[in-house]
Amino acid sequence: MRDDFYPRLASQAPRLLRALAPGLLNVPADLGTQDLYDIITAPAEAVGLDWQDGLPERIISDALAIDSAATPVRRAPVTVLPLLELTLQQLWQRRHGGHLTHEAYQRVGGITGAVTTWCDSAFEQLPADQQPVARRILTALVRPADDSHDVPAVRQQVPLPELRALADITDPANDGRLAEQAVDEVLAALIEQRIVTTRTVGHLDGSAGPPVAELVHDALIRDWAALRRWVGEDHRFQDWLRRAGERHTRWTADPDPGNLLRGSDLADGLGWAAQRRLPENTAALLAVSRQYQRTEIRRARRLNAVLAGLLVLALAATGLAIGQRQTAVGAQRVALSRQLAAQSTALIRADPDLASLLAVRAHRTSPTGEAATSVYAAAGLPLKRRLTGETRGELSPSVRTGA
């Protein structure tokens, strides 16, 4: 057992730890050359197999090269053990007369090639109707690369209830109970083939958290070509799912509308929800975001209606004001025209020229009846001054005759 698991076992099951202590084999966080040599050779020797000269050293060299950062100090992380297990198991299957050979190791493809060989074989052994489910399980366990920040794709832990939803290939409208059983069957097969592992994650307070699943090693993402292809094909959905998960975390911590899904993220989410089942938390966030959007649309429509009504009232008020102003101006012109006509009448004998000019000005200001009368009266008077053509027009026969 890895030594970093002792504290958890001691806190959760101290009696079990005491019972297991005599048979426990401590596995450190990283492994030296001698550790790797014992892990590789001891089980084979225990069943009477022998190694071709130099083969254990070759496997050790390949194991150290998996993590380039570990090579200078000649130590490998303990996470290399699942890859070693896959490699040695395939090497054992290709044993020849009790011998483990370089030729068999070469056919396996080394440690990195063994991953592809093993995973392809395990996937192909699944029934055809289970393979799409397996693809969804495997892609869900990969956090997609973030090219904008030069972050490569890595494995991620996914709670089993969430994984069951993500791997469901049935109609999203179904209740999902039968689909969960199908997902569990495929997940069990992947666990048996040592491609996926499950464990319980503890909380900071020491309590047990939800069971999670994860790939046995990041090397699967790097070396298994089929998985890389599936991850690429599912990148858009997984990338949206990651952003939605971040939004849900912020919304849970601060239920502010600004933390809901908006714009293209909301539109994409509604599209994905129509195609595949979403985890419960993500589906809940999507529903709240959609409801908030509808509320905002209704509020905007009401506001637009109010603004349109106010605009109509403003235009009506403006039109009324303009009409009133025009009426007032017209009334002023009529009053001025009548005043000028009255002055013309008063001066018609004392000053015919001025009376004529006042009559013309009254008619130009507003063609009232009084102005017309003063013009008629002025037209019959002998003028001492010569009128301009424009003024003569005002006193033309058409005015006098009313033509």
Answer with the residue of higher pLDDT: 28 or 288.
Answer: 288
User: What's 146's DSSP letter?
Assistant: B
Mean pLDDT value across the chain: 83
Give the start-to-end residue ranges of the domains of the chain: 1-108, 321-401
Q: Is pLDDT at 388 greater than 60 in this prediction?
A: no
314-331 confidence digits (pLDDT tens)? 888 888 888 788 787 788
The CA distance from 203 to 209, in Å, is: 6
**What is the pLDDT at residue 402?**
38
78-91 confidence digits (pLDDT tens)? 778 888 888 898 89
Listed in sequence order, the residues at least 6 apart from 301 whose beta carbon sits closer than 8 Å to its beta carbon are none
The CA distance from 296 to 302, in Å, is: 10
**Which segment of 115-119, 128-132, 249-253 scores lowest on mean pLDDT?**
115-119
Listed in sequence order, the residues at least 6 apart from 257 whose beta carbon sits closer than 8 Å to its beta carbon are 292
**What is the pLDDT at residue 206?**
60
Q: Is pLDDT at 43 greater than 60 in this prediction?
A: yes
Q: What is the DSSP string of 61-123?
A: HHHHHHSTTTGGGTEEEGGGHHHHHHHHHHHHHT-BTTEE-HHHHHHHTHHHHHHHHHHHHHH
**What is the pLDDT at residue 180?**
80
Backbone angles phi, psi at 205, to 5 degrees: -85, 5
Q: Is pLDDT at 126 greater than 90 in this prediction?
A: yes
Residues 10 and 17 sit within 8 Å (Cβ to Cβ): yes
234-265 confidence digits (pLDDT tens)? 999 998 998 999 999 999 999 888 899 999 99
**Coil, strand or helix: which one is 147?**
helix
**What is the pLDDT at residue 392?**
47
Give, in degrees to the nearest 5, the angle at Cα 194 between 163 and 59.
140
**What is the pLDDT at residue 142?**
94
